[in-house]
Amino acid sequence: MGSNAHNIVIEAVPGSKYTAKTPDANGLIHYTAEENLVWKDLIERQQIAIQGVACEEFVHGMELLGLPQERIPQLAEVSEPLGHATDWSAAAVPALIPFITFCQLLANKRFPCATFIRAREELNYLEEPDIFHEVFGHCAMLTNPSFAAFTEAYGKLGLEANDAQRRFLERLYWFTVEFGLLKTSVGTRVYGGGILSSIGETQYACSTTPDLRPFNVLDVLRTPYRIDIMQPIYYVLDSIDDLFEIAHMDLFSEMRKAEQLGMFEPLFPPKSAQAG
């Protein structure tokens, strides 16, 4: 694939209950007063919830982003500090996009951000990624060079992978970018956006309930997950810089090993519609 990000065709995956917001002629998206109020309620609540929980890299990234409190930010506002920090930008997408499109964007240093925000009745939990999850949960970490390099490398790997290998890559993304934890001098801290953007997952991840395991790539590739439950297992990195090293491993070799060894037994009841 060439490096021209403008060649990427962004199409929605059928099945989303939400509709992407369309920008006007000036590239601006107009949100309703209620949608802006949902953002305000979410960000104020979550900023309190992650105190003493989020890793320093996330806190620093949030300072760089300077997200508005009273309204949903325009993606251009998010892209500007991202560009200065790591040459990344935020790309408007529908709610759900194909894996190949997702990887094309990441490989071009464009982070896909759905332009809709959740309805108030889904304030606490949403299966589909909305703009709060993407911007608040993920974009701050993309100001970190190691995290950004890992995410770009992940996108490039996804473009080379076959269907079976993509399933392994989905697990790698799940236990790092979405639900990753970090060992620090002051205790375990969160860098995964699926935790940082969720009030319930934030409280749960920092309790004594889940099983925290040292990060091991092969183990991660063999660990099943479900998207609709609190995670029974989290993997803990020794340093955020470990992501840079993981990005430069021979991950296809690790995937072959994982395929030979087989999956771990899931620590959750089966669900036929969705399993990792």
Residue list for the binding site for Fe cation: 133, 138, 178
d(CA 121, CA 124): 8
Separation in Å, CA 77 to CA 70, 84, 181, 194 = 14, 12, 28, 22
Closest CA to 259 of 171, 176, 175: 171
109: left (phi over 0), alpha (psi -120 to 50) or beta: left
d(CA 62, CA 80): 13
Q: Binding site membership: which residues? A: 133, 138, 178
Which residues, in sequence order, are bridge partners of residue 113? 92
CB atoms within 10 A of CB 218: 13
CB atoms within 10 A of CB 48: 10
